Structure 1
Amino acid sequence: MTTRKYKELVEQRTRQTLQKWSEQPDVEEKEIYRFLHNLKGTAGTVGLHLVEEYAGSTLLYFSDESYKNWTEAEWGDYLYPLLGLFDEQLMNGAIPVPGLQAAMLSDGKKQYEILLIDDDVELVAFLRESLEKQSYFVSIALSAERGLKIFYETKPDMILLDILLPDQSGIDVLKQIIGKAKKERIPIIIVSGEHSKDVQMYAYSLGVMDYIPKPVDIDLFLVLIKNRFELKLEWQKSIIVDELTGAFNRKYFNQTMKQLISDFRRTERTFSLALMDLDYFKHVNDSYGHLVGDEVLQTFSELVLKSIRVEDTFCRYGGEEFALFMPNTDAASAMLVIERIQQQFSLKEFWAKNERFNVSFSAGITEVTESHLNADKLIDEADQALYASKHAGRNQTTLYDEHLPAGKLESVLNVIIVDDDPLIRRIVTHQFQAWEPESIAKVKVSSYSNGPQFLQTDWYAPEEKFIILLDGIMPELDGVEVLERIRGSYPEVNILVIMLTGRNDQRDIIHALQMGADDYVIKPFHLPELLTRIERLAHRFLF
């Protein structure tokens, strides 16, 4: 559906609403408020910016908590001018909203992720907007607890940390993360209104890279961030070993793959590639803590390094996923090696919170052939075999076979829109139906017009993942109340919630984030920006 068609639908709905109201004796004020609230968000999203601006300014004259009745003579002075604005914008033509695929394209440059831990919501909103204009992706935490959770789950590229936080001191947070941050080469920058020389010296002594005083000079701030990322890039170029596990890193993996393929072209010297992924590793982190998770990763790496030959190359491919190159080894022989390591590792006992537990891993193996001399193809084959192992019950190894189903069998991502504005639901649903994110086999899209309708359905499935776009203001049940029920009834690990709000009231944003929202988007939003943000968040859900 074209953008112009959406605009015409908005106009049609507006005219129908005003026509219906003109036939009534009066209209309740909160109904007028809700109409303008929805119109502001929808008009801005489809490109009716004059209508958006007028609806936003008119909204200030009404309240969503008032039961006052307005006659046509009263409300007409405020609302009928909208009709002329539609005529003006539609006559002038429309600027198409970029499509979904355009929003997902990348210029090949890395989009750095910044974790911002600060409870000053006004500053947080300003910094996020400023940083994202520079193409950074910003995650927000309004408390130390939330910041620590995001840090361990997402491994950001940089951390901006305030000293004064509501639940514990930023210095205490710094002490908890500085060791891991140093190992992962994650720079930490303090941004604080605490100007004490002693505090600054102590923060520097713990290992922070910079200490920026509030109020922030945004121009200097942005130049500093750019400078620090350039420095980080130089660090990364010079490092080939993952310090946590002792395995080689992803950069060295790429170098090794290139070298082995080149060698095969010259000598036909075969090699096998195994991808290994620890089973239910997120459960280990959630149940026993990330320090215990690090211990599991280190133990696994130590076992593999002791079990392989000098000519083999063991790499940390990403997170809890590892790769092993075995030169002069066919796939069947490689399988014997992996299964032996599998058996030994599953017998390892770990101790945490007064209980013992075991961890297993799944693996997939492929072998280089004359017809498959492409690195991406080899990785994809090993990946398919790995996820066949996962699908078959985990703790096993699968050899790649051309008859294996392509893609990740388990990777189902649900996108749910809960919004009382039917046009918003229609637009967003239409866009997501064409979405094909990397590493996700299937995207299921559904929408609901209100909170009770959504909550009463059998929407949740334990083996699937969910991104919920939740309108903040809805009839019957407020969006934050729906959020509270989601967080109280379902495991957070499977569900990301993005609040859609037409309000700039920082108290609403604070409340939503405190109740467990992962992000917020202010209406009107631009679809390409929303979809890019959704895709970034979806990467947390790779199976």
Structure 2
Amino acid sequence: MTTRKYKEMVEARTRETLQKWSEQSAVEEKDIYRFLHNLKGTSGTVGLDAVEAFSGNALLYFSDDNPRGWTEAEWGDYLYPLLELFGEPEITGAVPPQIPGIALSHGNIHQQYEILIIDDDVELVAFLRESLERKSYYVSIALSAGRGLKLFYETKPDLILLDILLPDRSGIDVLNQIIGKAKKERIPIIIISGEHSKDVQKYAYSLGVMDYVQKPVDIDLFLVLIKNRFELKKEWQESIIVDELTGAFNRKYFNQTMKQLLSDFRRTGRTFSLALLDLDHFKLVNDTYGHLVGDEVLQTFSELVKQSIRTEDTFCRYGGEEFALFMPNTPAEQALLVMERIQQSFAANAFQAKRESFQVTFSCGVTEVTEVEQNADRLVEEADQALYASKYNGRNQTKLYSKELMIQRETPLNVIIVDDDPLIRRIVTGNFSSWQPGNNTRIKVASYADGALFLESDWYAPEEKYIILLDGVMPEIDGLEVLEKIRSSYPEVNILVIMLTGRNNQRDIIHALQMGADDYVIKPFHLPELLIRIERLAHRFLF
């Protein structure tokens, strides 16, 4: 279905609604508000810019909680001019969403630097996010220290913007907690604060922050500063080949080794095997015992593997709790035996925390270079499929890749849209019905017309994961009420929530983020941008 078709559907629905209302003695003001609210979001999304602008202006004259009845003579002055806007030339310079022929990346997100903002000044945060995302950065927001620490440990941002004054604890306390790990991971920290004290600035610099930016912010200088710091970070990354936390080689060296081994294979025919290793239930270790204990587990694991392999083998930290091992002159069957031996040794290791002992295991997938398959990306994909076969079959084991290997992800990913606008639901579900985010993850898509239907449905299964797109304004139950019930009744670890809102009231955004929303998108949104944002959140779950 083309963009033009969606525009025609919006026009048809608008004419149908106004015709229906013209036959009624009166229409409640809250219904007019919801109609304009939905029309504003939908028309902007499908590229009807003039309709979007008109609807936004008309919204100012109506309230979403007023039951007052409006006659046709009253509401007609506001709404009938809408009909003249359909088919009008669209505003030049606007980039219409590409609906629905959007090719999702199937597991390969376009590389973006991720910035974590920890600041409770929501107006500034919203402005910074919009400005940074225009420069193709991805921005996560935390309005409190607690939320900021959680996102720091879970998402591993590329740069942190940290305020000194936070509602639950001092930004200096946050800085003291994360600076060591940030230095090891080479994550620059920039203080951005209204606190101008020279002593505070000196102390922050002494702890290891890269910059101290005073509010109010000159956005032009600020954006140049951010670009400069990422260029410096890139130079850091290119100058090192060892992951400081674990002592394993890093992703850069992984790529170099892969290139060298493939070149050697093509020249001499010498085979090699690639193993991908992933610690089982590692997030549970962090959640139960803390991230310092999690770091200890990673370091112990890395040291054990390095002691168990040959000099010619290459052990790399591939990302997070995932590692890779190159074994030259080693066929896959022999590599399997090596990995099983390492698994037995690591599973026997006892860790101590909170006056108790616990064990950690890892799963592994192995593939071997062949005459047929000499592509680096394909070799990684094969090892990855074998790895997830190990996960699916019970963990703490190694699987060899084969063409007959059937992969089913253990935890399906559900994408749920809760919105009273049927066109938005149709657009979103249509684009995700065939999405494959990588590693053959099974996607299930569902939609609900209002919050009450969603909450009353049997939507939740403990073993599955969810990304919920939740409209902020809906009849019967407001989106914020739905969010509150989600966060109070279900484990947060399995559910990510994106609020969709056309409201300009920043207090609603604050409330949603404080209640546990993971992100928000202001209607109207461009669909490709929304889909990329959802895919990135999915990778927080799956990789």
TM-score by length of 2: 0.96
Structure 2 counterpart of 1:360, which letter?
T
**What's the offset of the Cα at 1:101?**
5.9
Q: How big is each residue's C-alpha offset from its partner over 1:348-395, in whole Å with a ceiling of 9 and x where there is no partner? A: 111222322111011111222222222222222211211111111001
Moved more, 293-302 or 12-21: 12-21
Match of 2:490 in 1: 490
Match of 2:258 in 1: 257
Q: Residue 88 of structure 1 aligns to a residue in which SS?
A: coil
Match of 1:542 in 2: 542
Match of 2:321 in 1: 320
**What's the offset of the Cα at 1:266?**
2.7
**What's the offset of the Cα at 1:95?**
7.7
Match of 1:383 in 2: 384
Do residues 209 (structure 1) and 199 (structure 2) align? no
Q: How big is each residue's C-alpha offset from its partner over 1:478-533, in whole Å with a ceiling of 9 and x where there is no partner? A: 11111111112222122110000110101100000000000001111111111111
* Unaligned runs of at least 5 residues, structure 2: none
Do residues 451 (structure 1) and 458 (structure 2) align? no
**What's the offset of the Cα at 1:100?**
5.6
Structure 1 counterpart of 2:237, which letter?
Q
Partner Cα separation in structure 2 for residue 123 and residue 436 of structure 1: 36
Over 3 Å counting, the alpha-carbon distance change for 1:223 and 1:100 in structure 2 is farther
Moved more, 148-157 or 74-83: 74-83
Match of 1:501 in 2: 501
Check the 8 A contact 2:192/2:214 in 1, yes or no. yes
Partner Cα separation in structure 2 for residue 333 and residue 360 of structure 1: 21
Match of 1:17 in 2: 17
Match of 1:118 in 2: 119
Check the 8 A contact 1:468/1:495 in 2, yes or no. yes
**What's the offset of the Cα at 1:462?**
2.7
* Unaligned runs of at least 5 residues, structure 1: none
Over 3 Å counting, the alpha-carbon distance change for 1:28 and 1:99 in structure 2 is closer
Structure 1 counterpart of 2:396, which letter?
N
Partner Cα separation in structure 2 for residue 440 and residue 525 of structure 1: 28
**What's the offset of the Cα at 1:311?**
1.4
Do residues 269 (structure 1) and 270 (structure 2) align? yes
Partner Cα separation in structure 2 for residue 415 and residue 201 of structure 1: 47
Structure 1 counterpart of 2:397, which letter?
Q
Match of 1:41 in 2: 41
Q: Residue 410 of structure 2 aligns to a residue in which SS?
A: coil
Check the 8 A contact 1:413/1:440 in 2, yes or no. no
**What's the offset of the Cα at 1:144?**
0.5
Match of 2:426 in 1: 426
Partner Cα separation in structure 2 for residue 408 and residue 398 of structure 1: 14
- What are the residue-to-residue correspondences of 1:99-248 with 2, within 5 Å? 99=99, 102=102, 104=104, 110-248=111-249
Q: How big is each residue's C-alpha offset from its partner over 1:325-346, in whole Å with a ceiling of 9 and x where there is no partner? A: 1122222222222111111111
Check the 8 A contact 2:2/2:100 in 1, yes or no. no
Check the 8 A contact 2:146/2:168 in 1, yes or no. yes
Do residues 519 (structure 1) and 519 (structure 2) align? yes
Check the 8 A contact 1:472/1:478 in 2, yes or no. yes
Partner Cα separation in structure 1 for residue 3 and residue 353 of structure 2: 56
Check the 8 A contact 2:276/2:384 in 1, yes or no. yes
Q: How big is each residue's C-alpha offset from its partner over 1:204-252, in whole Å with a ceiling of 9 and x where there is no partner? A: 0000000000000000000000000000000000110000000001111
Do residues 336 (structure 1) and 341 (structure 2) align? no
Moved more, 41-50 or 172-181: 41-50
Over 3 Å counting, the alpha-carbon distance change for 1:372 and 1:2 in structure 2 is closer
Q: How big is each residue's C-alpha offset from its partner over 1:289-321, in whole Å with a ceiling of 9 and x where there is no partner? A: 111111110111111111111111111111111
Partner Cα separation in structure 1 for residue 58 and residue 103 of structure 2: 32
Match of 2:414 in 1: 414
**What's the offset of the Cα at 1:434?**
3.9
Check the 8 A contact 2:468/2:498 in 1, yes or no. yes
Structure 1 counterpart of 2:17, which letter?
T
Over 3 Å counting, the alpha-carbon distance change for 1:259 and 1:531 in structure 2 is same
Moved more, 488-497 or 246-255: 488-497
Q: How big is each residue's C-alpha offset from its partner over 1:138-157, in whole Å with a ceiling of 9 and x where there is no partner? A: 00000000010011001000
**What's the offset of the Cα at 1:442?**
2.7
Aligned length: 541
Partner Cα separation in structure 1 for residue 302 and residue 251 of structure 2: 15
Percent of aligned positions that are identical = 77
Partner Cα separation in structure 1 for residue 47 and residue 343 of structure 2: 56
Partner Cα separation in structure 2 for residue 63 and residue 440 of structure 1: 46
Check the 8 A contact 1:416/1:447 in 2, yes or no. yes
Match of 2:404 in 1: 403
**What is the root-mean-square deviation in Å for CA atoms of aligned residues?**
2.0
Check the 8 A contact 1:412/1:440 in 2, yes or no. no
Q: Residue 86 of structure 2 aligns to a residue in which SS?
A: helix
**What's the offset of the Cα at 1:165?**
0.4
Moved more, 7-16 or 514-523: 7-16
Check the 8 A contact 1:103/1:529 in 2, yes or no. no
Partner Cα separation in structure 1 for residue 342 and residue 165 of structure 2: 47
Partner Cα separation in structure 2 for residue 353 and residue 478 of structure 1: 42
Partner Cα separation in structure 1 for residue 194 and residue 440 of structure 2: 43
Match of 1:347 in 2: 348
Check the 8 A contact 2:276/2:387 in 1, yes or no. yes
Q: Residue 86 of structure 1 aligns to a residue in which SS?
A: coil
**What's the offset of the Cα at 1:438?**
3.4
Structure 2 counterpart of 1:459, which letter?
W
Do residues 285 (structure 1) and 292 (structure 2) align? no
Moved more, 198-207 or 45-54: 45-54
Partner Cα separation in structure 2 for residue 140 and residue 95 of structure 1: 26
Partner Cα separation in structure 2 for residue 472 and residue 109 of structure 1: 29
